[in-house]
Amino acid sequence: MDVIAGLLNGPRADGAFLLRSHLTPPWALEVRDRAPLTLVAVVSGSAWVLPEGLPPTELRPGDLAILRGPDPYAVADDPATEPQALIHPGQRCTTPSGEDLGDLRTLGTRSWGNAPDGATVLVTGTYQVLSEICAPLLAALPPLAVLRSGECDTPLIPLLGAEVARDAPGQDAVLDRLLDLLTVVALRTWLARPDVEAPAWYRAQDDPVIGTALRLMHDDPAHPWTVAELADAAHVSRAALARRFTTEVGEPPMAYLANWRLALSADLLCDPAATIASVAEKVGYGSAFALSTAFKRVRGISPKEHRERAAREAMPVAAVRPWRMAV
């Protein structure tokens, strides 16, 4: 499992918030939900996205915007349009003055906006919480990454646009998986662009030596890996692997493995049914005490404190609260 695969396999990637917006000018939304990752796809019409502190960027049909949180951003028909609605954590909607917008009429399943036949149709997918193992990936992204129509060659955007408004058994699971797939395709496309400086750890996955070591550690973190064993699997000497790994990835193999194990354990600890001992066994620590000691040394808090903090911060996604902007 690599870092991008963590978006699909991470235990907290489910329950993403998906919505289709039907809009006619003038319209503007300011998003303050502090979500770590949001995708905005333009099905029809156009929109401007305005991340805080950055110049506005226009989106056209087929374009896909990747927004890295938690900083706020706005989406509007024109950069000059004042926000008519604010989106808060938990997808709570208010007017700029604080008036709740949850009682306004719906435009259908997972659909809202200011006009049922609005020329602009957007599909927005928001990850409320992401797996800990996604942290290096998020850190590698700019606040706004835009893939233009045709650049991300996938049928997933129109498919997600069609499926998001369907109300069928198991539809939430279908939408989660579609969003996951679109996110993985979008991130791979972005990191493969010639004008993007992909991080060293991402490029290293294609290295025949380092890539072998990374895959072994990712796929079986509980195994008691040594530099010698990894080097033997990669058909190089211990010194060659250690030197090459450190140069390309930025840290020695065993340090990378320790950080990978702790990131996995941070995710697994969010499952209330998991014990510290069971998590320790899954990620390669000999005991709950060994995991607790390493966890607190690196992260500054105990596994128990991490679990309690994660439970407090994992705000449940509010039910879709349709709203209609005044025009």
Beta strand pairing call for 28-31 and 85-88: parallel
Quote the tokens at residue 45: 């019409």
Across residues 192-218, what is the average pLDDT?
Answer: 89
Q: Considering only residues 162 and 297, tell me which one the structure prediction assigns the higher pLDDT.
A: 297
DSSP secondary structure string for all residues of 268-302: HTTSTT--HHHHHHHHT-SSHHHHHHHHHHHHSS-
pLDDT of 310 > 70? The answer is: yes
CA distance 131 to 10: 5
Q: Considering only residues 98 and 153, tell me which one the structure prediction assigns the higher pLDDT.
A: 98
Q: Considering only residues 172 and 78, tell me which one the structure prediction assigns the higher pLDDT.
A: 78
pLDDT of 154 > 90? The answer is: no
Report the pLDDT value the prediction gives residue 222, as an integer from 0 to 100: 94
Report the pLDDT value the prediction gives residue 327, as an integer from 0 to 100: 30
CA distance 285 to 261: 9
pLDDT of 288 > 60? The answer is: yes
Report the pLDDT value the prediction gives residue 320, as an integer from 0 to 100: 38
Across residues 166-194, what is the average pLDDT?
Answer: 86
CA distance 82 to 223: 55
Instruction: Give Cα 304 distance to the centre of its chain.
Output: 25
- Lowest mean pLDDT segment, chosen from 43-47, 102-106, 157-161, 268-272: 102-106
What's the pTM value of the predicted model, to 2 decimals?
0.83
DSSP class of residue 319 equals P
What are all long-range contacts of 167-176, with beta carbons under 8 Å and residues at least 24 apart? 167/109, 172/15, 175/16, 175/18, 176/13, 176/14, 176/15, 176/16
Quote the tokens at residue 321: 């609260």
- Alpha-carbon dihedral 31, 92, 17, 155, rounded to 10 degrees: -50
Rg (CA), the chain: 22
What pLDDT digit, counting tens, does each position of 13-47 carry? 566 788 888 899 999 999 999 999 999 999 999 99
Q: Which residues pair with 143 in a beta bridge?
A: none
Across residues 273-292, what is the average pLDDT?
Answer: 94
> What is the strand order of the sheet 85-88 is part of?
57-59, 47-51, 73-76, 28-31, 85-88, 92-94
Report the pLDDT value the prediction gives residue 105, as an integer from 0 to 100: 39
pLDDT of 315 > 70? The answer is: no
Q: pLDDT tier at 104 (50, 70, 90 boundaries)?
A: very low
Q: What is the mean pLDDT of the chain?
A: 86
Across residues 127-134, what is the average pLDDT?
Answer: 81
pLDDT of 230 > 70? The answer is: yes
Share of the chain above pLDDT 70, in %: 89
Across residues 201-217, what is the average pLDDT?
Answer: 90
- Alpha-carbon dihedral 6, 88, 174, 189, rounded to 10 degrees: -50
CA distance 320 to 90: 10
Spell out where the chain has E strands: 17-23, 28-31, 37-44, 47-51, 57-59, 64-68, 73-76, 85-88, 92-94, 111-113, 120-127, 144-147
What are all long-range contacts of 308-315, with beta carbons under 8 Å and residues at least 24 apart? 310/266, 310/269, 310/270, 311/270, 311/272, 313/129, 314/12, 314/128, 314/129, 314/270, 315/89, 315/90, 315/128
Across residues 210-237, what is the average pLDDT?
Answer: 95
> What is the strand order of the sheet 17-23 is part of?
111-113, 17-23, 120-127, 37-44, 64-68, 144-147
CA distance 211 to 302: 32
